[in-house]
Copies of this chain bind each other. A is one copy, B any other.
């Protein structure tokens, strides 16, 4: 990643270097490149072959974060102010664009994959990015239009597009493609996508729960930021479906206000309602069920792959997704 990011020495680059480096320089988990590199090695490939694609995935993730943060009006990212808070919306939008280009260019730089496989992986990455924007659009509309009548199925359809594609499904697919030197066709990749979906769903459910139970220092985001933003999590969907008429009316009015107009105590009140209605337990139970599906899908995805530490790492990602504290 460091090699692909600009050094700041080119004075024709409009001062972009520190903005492009800001999020990658903060400590992230690196789940996406880790999944990609492990899957590549499980299929017999090397880190060296997959490193360009792994850098692409992680840099693209960082570019998504820049735009997501300003679309969601988030204040903190990895423990520091979000980019639009520091530089304003115009420069942050442009920096997100530039970082996405840097990310895609990393795929071709010193690539050892050959033109055909490189092109196939670029097609995968563009499909991935396209679906991520679709999920983000759907979520932004839910909030803008204050959509309240949602079911768990709506949540899972959303996170399939918005989270799972670029967090798990495509990192796994691309790792398998590089590791097999392009030997797998779409049909052969389908069970890997299935496993990726369950793994990503477990990741997102845990992410949403951590936002409610973790503290700001550990998560690096605002405490209760999801409640402040009105994010339609499993917990909020459950609460809206089980709340009393009075509670629901209050929630509806709360969610209809702009983020800036929500009082500091309001988010804590939503959390107390969720606790009273056991909405967190509801989501935790879904998380356990999804993790069980992931374990079941693992054999379909990797049944023909010989044992290795890399395969063990991938299997270990299932419990990790639900146990992680950050």
Which A residues contact B (CB, under 8 angstroms)? 12-16, 19, 67, 70-72, 88-91, 93-98, 100-102, 104-105, 108, 114-116, 118-119, 122-123, 126-127, 129-130, 133-141, 144, 157, 161
Contacts and interface: CB of A to CB of B under 8 A. Distances in A.
A71 B119 CA distance: 32
Contact of A133 (B88, B101, B104, B130): B101
B126 A101 contact: yes
A97 B67 contact: yes
A299 to B, nearest CB: 28
A229 B173 CA distance: 46
A144 B88 contact: yes
14 contacts: A14-B139, A14-B140, A67-B93, A70-B90, A71-B89, A72-B90, A94-B136, A96-B97, A98-B130, A105-B123, A105-B126, A108-B122, A108-B126, A115-B115
Contacts of A19: 137
Given A118-B119, A119-B119, A15 B137 contact: yes
Nearest to A119: B115
Contact of A14 (B15, B116, B126, B138): B138
A43 to B, nearest CB: 21
A123 B101 CA distance: 10
A121 B291 CA distance: 42
Contacts of A104: 104, 126
A93 B115 contact: no
Given A14-B161, A100-B100, A118-B119, A137 B105 contact: no
A71 B96 CA distance: 13
Contacts of A133: 14, 16, 94-95, 97-98, 101
Given A12-B157, A100-B100, A161-B14, A90 B130 contact: no
A16 B97 CA distance: 18
Contact of A116 (B115, B134, B161): B115
A58 to B, nearest CB: 17
Given A91-B141, A134-B12, A129 B115 contact: no
Contacts of A97: 67, 96-97, 100, 129, 133
Contacts of A139: 14
Contacts of A16: 133-134, 137
Contacts of A130: 98, 101-102, 105
B71 A94 contact: yes
Nearest to A117: B115
A126 B108 CA distance: 10
Contact of A141 (B15, B127, B144): B15
A40 to B, nearest CB: 20
Contacts of A89: 70-71, 89
A87 B118 CA distance: 36
A14 B141 contact: yes
